[in-house]
Amino acid sequence: MATKTVEYNAIVTHKQILTPSLAIFRVKADFDVPTFIPGQYAILGMNHAEKGAVMRAYSIASPPQTHADYLEFFIRYVNTPTSENPLTHLLFQLEEGDRLMMRNKLQGHFTVEKSMGEEDARLKVLVAAGTGLAPFTSIVFDHFNRTGNPGNHAIMHGASYVSDLGYVEELERVMNQGPHRRYLASVSRPGENQEWKGQTGRVETHFEPEKIGALEEVLGLPKGGFNPQSVTVMICGLQGTIANTIMSLFHRGFVPGDRKLRREFGVPEGTPGSVFFEQYDTTPVIDTKDATLMTELTERLRGSGVTLEEKTVAAEA
Q: DSSP for 155-199?
A: EEEEESSGGG--SHHHHHHHHSSSSS--EEEEES--TT-TT--SE
Task: Taking residues 227-234, report their average pLDDT.
Answer: 97
pLDDT exceeds 80 at position 85? yes
Task: Please choose, from the candidates 237, 215, 233, the residue with its C-alpha nearest in 3D space to the C-alpha of residue 224.
Answer: 215
pLDDT exceeds 50 at position 175? yes
- The SS3 assignment for 43 reads strand
pLDDT band at 133 (very low <50, low <70, confident <90, very high): very high
Please give the pLDDT value at position 195: 73
Task: Taking residues 268-291, report their average pLDDT.
Answer: 91
Q: Which amino acid is at 168?
A: V
Give domain limits for the chain: 10-102, 123-303
pLDDT exceeds 60 at position 313? no
Task: Taking residues 291-300, report their average pLDDT.
Answer: 96
For residues 124 and 112, is the Cβ–Cβ distance under 8 A? yes
Q: What is the pLDDT of residues 163-172, one digit of tens each?
A: 999 999 999 9
* CATH class for the region spanning 123-303: alpha beta
pLDDT exceeds 80 at position 1? no
For residues 133 and 241, is the Cβ–Cβ distance under 8 A? no
Tell which wins on pLDDT, 105 or 80: 105
Number of Cβ within a 10 Å radius of residue 283: 11
Cα–Cα–Cα angle for 186, 188, 192, rounded to 5 degrees: 105
pLDDT exceeds 90 at position 232? yes
For residues 223 and 240, is the Cβ–Cβ distance under 8 A? no
DSSP-derived secondary structure letter, 107: B
**Record: fold of 10-102:** Elongation Factor Tu (Ef-tu); domain 3 (2.40.30)
Whole-structure pTM value: 0.94
Please give the pLDDT value at position 179: 79
Task: Taking residues 179-202, report their average pLDDT.
Answer: 82
pLDDT band at 2 (very low <50, low <70, confident <90, very high): low
pLDDT exceeds 60 at position 104? yes
pLDDT band at 194 (very low <50, low <70, confident <90, very high): low
Q: What is the pLDDT of residues 210-230, one digit of tens each?
A: 999 999 999 999 999 999 999
Q: What is the pLDDT of residues 144-164, one digit of tens each?
A: 999 999 999 999 999 999 999
Please give the pLDDT value at position 172: 94
> Following DSSP, what letter does each residue of 286-308 receive, concatenated?
S-TT-HHHHHHHHHHHHHTT---
pLDDT exceeds 90 at position 199? no
Please give the pLDDT value at position 90: 97
pLDDT band at 193 (very low <50, low <70, confident <90, very high): low
Task: Taking residues 185-194, report their average pLDDT.
Answer: 79
Task: Taking residues 221-243, report their average pLDDT.
Answer: 96
pLDDT above 70 covers a percentage of the chain that reads 96
